[in-house]
Structure 1
Amino acid sequence: MKRITIKNIAKALGYSVGTVSKALSNSHEISSLTKVKIQNFAHENGYQSNQYAKLLRKGRTNIIGMIVPSIGNPFFSQILEGIEREMSETAYNLIIMQSVDDPQLELKHLEMLSKKGADAIVIAATGNSISLKYLRKLKNEGTPIVLIDRTNYDINTYKIGIDNFKVVYEGISQLINRGKRKILFISNLSPGTSSERRRGYIQCLRDFDIAYNSNYVLSIETNRRRIDVLDQLKNHLTHFVNSSTPPQAIFTASDQLTYLTLEALHTIGISVPDRLALIGFANFQYTNIFQPSLSSIVQPSREIGSQAFAILHKILDSSDNEIATQYQNIELQASILTRKSSE
């Protein structure tokens, strides 16, 4: 059945298109009797207003774009849950894109969101200079931007994450207090979190009078095939455990690396915590069912998502332009769950 239009209603009832349009918009310019007649006819004949066209006339699309490295990562999927939970009662729609930490793909997604007229963007950025330049351009053109998780970038906008330095310092302190002084620190190459997490590791060693050894810092390129990252980890870990000064513990600075490191250690026959203690970032809900149960740093991921949307909702629904430029760097509290793997 062909969709009925305002023109069809006007022709059928003998009114002008303008009168029908105003009646369907409940305008005070149209008498109550005429409005009821037109609205009843529209309802009985299955008329549906084109909300998208109305939004475009107002310069809005009600689209919020979200770019994250991987939805398969529990941390980012939980951020998505937080956003959608807050968004469910609103008229906004979310477009979700994965960058797989590929700067070129990230830039392509940003350009696509711009072409679609996205009203705002939430992003865990790769930190690539070209992408950051494009984000600044969008912000300067009036698109609200919220950086999540990876907030250590030179862009003046809203940022929501955690105090990476502090929580890593606390995690390393726990290992040292359990007698572990040779601690291997494994991170990815993202400048948005890795530098602050590495700084927390180095400062904690210094405060405990432990000499910093750069050989115990391993940076892994994670924007590759999973099997390639796993093989890379297995090779490095085999080298470390067979060296003359093997580490006593491992700290993994991202969710992805925590799970892959556990898998790599299991594959090469290194038991945790008998041979190596381990603690790392992990937002997987059931880390207590690992064998051994996994000591983990848990980020308030759902709250990051809900706060990101709350900020954007306030900006987009406000006529006060000053609200959009009252930028904040919000640091939420992460928690450390100490279990068997770090003993």
Structure 2
Amino acid sequence: MKRITIKDIAKALGYSAGTVSKALADSYEISNITKLEIQKYANEKGYSFNHYAKLLRTGRTNIIGMIVPAIGNSFFSQILEGIEEQMSKTAYNLLIMQSNDDPVCEMTHLETLYKKGADAIVITPTGNKSSMEYLKKLKDKGIPVVLMDRTNYNIDTHKIGIDNYAAVYESVTHLINQGRTNILFISSLAKGVVEERRRGYLQCLRDYNIQYHSKNLLSIDVEKKGRKSQEELMLYLSQKMKSELPPDAIFTASDQLTYQTLEVLHALHIEVPAQVSLIGFANFRFTNIFEPPLSCIVQPSKEMGAQAFLLLSEILDNQSQKSALFKNIRLPASVEIRQSS
């Protein structure tokens, strides 16, 4: 059977080849009625769009590069799920890279994506100065950049995250309303997000006239090889629980730390929530199966991924209408209260 072409469709429907081409590409220049008529006819006749030919004409690769700290982390895997769900309907391809929060690795990935001609980049950055400068250069070259999750950086670009301050403030308020006043704040070293979360914790203590103790803050490198971060966490919590004024609650500012902290508390035979309450970030879909079920902040990770792709596809498909305005999208997170607090 002869393969149907754009010229065949144009002749059959009485449109120009240019109109048919734009309609099949879902161009804003063509009315919805005309697009529906042309697309319906093309589908019925088995027309197959030649994406490769389009790439040759436009000079684009249709590659969107994505760099995340850890693909195995449920939060980032759900972001990828959201992106790929939207991307599967298009001709774009996602090239996923893992930085392990290593600035050297991150820079290597950025250079690779540039050499491969990536049309856009989505990144959860380490915050390394060299990497941020490189991102600015890519942006200045016309490559759209979206910062994901860790957005608190001084760079004019698109950003997608949550209101970390509000989510933490609400969580710490819950602990205080439960009668907890000696609250630990345990965070990773991740820049671009920890500062805002810590600010929510500190402001909540001030607003409730609760004394702040600097030793109640622990920043820990969760990316340490082996179980060194777990050992550091166990030593810290063991000493705190044996102190004259042991904590009665813990807030954990990352998914990994939430799970590690619960594991350490079990290992130390500390009862949750009888001795100490626990609440923190956790995007694992089945936090209710933990013992006890975890109170947690759940980020709309899948929606964040979907929003990132929709934003980029809009930019890439309408490059002739570039806007100097960058979007800073903040999606609401939910605080889910369970038995651990």
TM-score, normalised via structure 2 length = 0.85
Counterpart-to-counterpart distance in 2, 1:258 and 1:225: 18
Deviation of 1:245 after TM superposition, in Å, equals 1.2
Deviation of 1:51 after TM superposition, in Å, equals 5.1
Deviation of 1:56 after TM superposition, in Å, equals 4.6
- Is the 2:51–2:91 contact (alpha carbons within 8 Å) kept by the matching residues of 1? no
Other-structure match for 1:258 = 258
Q: Given the alignment of the two structures, is residue 327 of structure 1 paired with residue 326 of structure 2, yes or no?
A: yes
CA distances 1:228-284 after superposition (whole Å, capped 9, x unpaired): 211111111111111111110000000011011111111222221122100000001
Deviation of 1:49 after TM superposition, in Å, equals 10
Deviation of 1:326 after TM superposition, in Å, equals 2.2
Counterpart-to-counterpart distance in 1, 2:203 and 2:196: 10
Counterpart-to-counterpart distance in 2, 1:108 and 1:67: 11
Gap regions ≥5 residues in structure 2: 13-47
Other-structure match for 1:44 = none
Deviation of 1:52 after TM superposition, in Å, equals 4.7
- Is the 2:315–2:322 contact (alpha carbons within 8 Å) kept by the matching residues of 1? no
Counterpart-to-counterpart distance in 1, 2:201 and 2:226: 26
- Is the 2:251–2:279 contact (alpha carbons within 8 Å) kept by the matching residues of 1? yes
Deviation of 1:208 after TM superposition, in Å, equals 0.3
Counterpart-to-counterpart distance in 2, 1:246 and 1:53: 67
Deviation of 1:321 after TM superposition, in Å, equals 3.7
Counterpart-to-counterpart distance in 2, 1:62 and 1:173: 46
CA distances 1:2-29 after superposition (whole Å, capped 9, x unpaired): xxxxxxxxxxxxxxxxxxxxx997568x
Deviation of 1:320 after TM superposition, in Å, equals 2.8
Deviation of 1:319 after TM superposition, in Å, equals 3.6
CA distances 1:19-59 after superposition (whole Å, capped 9, x unpaired): xxxx997568xx99xxxxxxxxxxxxxxx999557525522
Q: Given the alignment of the two structures, is residue 316 of structure 1 paired with residue 316 of structure 2, yes or no?
A: yes
- Residue 304 of structure 2 aligns to a residue in which SS? helix
- Map 1:235-314 → 2, pairs under 5 A: 235-314=235-314
Counterpart-to-counterpart distance in 1, 2:52 and 2:126: 32
Which structure has the greater CA radius of gyration?
1
Which piece of structure 1 moves more, 269-278 or 164-173? 269-278
Counterpart-to-counterpart distance in 2, 1:167 and 1:76: 19
- Is the 1:168–1:197 contact (alpha carbons within 8 Å) kept by the matching residues of 2? yes
Counterpart amino acid of residue 63 in structure 1: I
Q: Given the alignment of the two structures, is residue 92 of structure 1 paired with residue 85 of structure 2, yes or no?
A: no
Which piece of structure 1 moves more, 199-208 or 240-249? 240-249
Aligned residues: 303
- Map 1:33-112 → 2, pairs under 5 A: 52=52, 55-112=55-112
Deviation of 1:91 after TM superposition, in Å, equals 0.1
Counterpart-to-counterpart distance in 1, 2:268 and 2:97: 35
Other-structure match for 2:36 = none
Counterpart amino acid of residue 93 in structure 1: N
Counterpart-to-counterpart distance in 2, 1:154 and 1:77: 26
* Structure 1 pair 140–321 and aligned structure 2 pair: CA distance change class (3 A): farther
Counterpart-to-counterpart distance in 2, 1:280 and 1:230: 17
- Residue 336 of structure 1 aligns to a residue in which SS? strand
Other-structure match for 2:230 = 230
- Is the 1:85–1:306 contact (alpha carbons within 8 Å) kept by the matching residues of 2? yes
Counterpart amino acid of residue 332 in structure 2: Q
Q: Given the alignment of the two structures, is residue 341 of structure 1 paired with residue 340 of structure 2, yes or no?
A: yes
